Amino acid sequence: MRTRVVLALLAVSLVTVACGDDTSVFDLAVGDCFNDDAAAADVVQTVATVRCSEPHDNEIFFEFSMTDASFPGQEATATAAGARCVAEFEGFVGLSYEESDLDLFPIIPTVQSWADGDRVVYCALYGLDRSKLTGSMRGAAR
């Protein structure tokens, strides 16, 4: 079964699977909101999506595909993904990452999913103070 790694960047690890509609990590899209599950592992198969109008922990704000032919390793993948997520943050939120009260983490392929052709990285944001978000953070300038 294919799985993905959820890594924290400049924050405590956030992993999800809690209440809401379970959505495969391969079916996420920009604008999807979801909640944390403290009992989840670092490798997840589904996340609990909720409507962004409801209080939620995280939102997908960008996705891209890595172009490496072979798996570059978990650390290199996480580093490259984190850098790209930071670069794309302001375009979604409307405020630079450094000025924002939001933080981010990438959801990256595992070595197993990479072997199956998975190259997609999702960039997710959350409140730096870990408070629930309400509404999309697109253009929120916070």
11 membership: H or E segment, kind and range = none
What are 94's strand-pairing partners?
none
What's the number of domains the chain is made of? 1
- Give burial (CB, 10 Å; 0-12/13-18/19+) of 16: buried
What pLDDT was estimated at residue 9? 33
Quick check: is 132 in a domain?
no
What pLDDT was estimated at residue 11? 31
Residue that is written with structure tokens 């198969």 in the block? 45
Quick check: is 10 in a domain?
yes
Quick check: is 86 in a domain?
yes
Quick check: is 135 in a domain?
no
What pLDDT was estimated at residue 20? 56
Quick check: is 137 in a domain?
no
Domain range enclosing 37: 4-127
pLDDT (tens, 9 = 90+) of the chain, 142 residues, equals: 344 455 543 233 333 333 457 899 999 999 999 999 776 767 888 999 999 999 999 999 999 999 999 999 999 999 999 999 999 999 999 999 999 999 999 999 999 999 999 999 999 999 999 999 999 999 999 9
Quick check: is 138 in a domain?
no
Sign of CA dihedral 33, 37, 41, 47: negative
What pLDDT was estimated at residue 75? 95
Quick check: is 58 in a domain?
yes
Quick check: is 45 in a domain?
yes
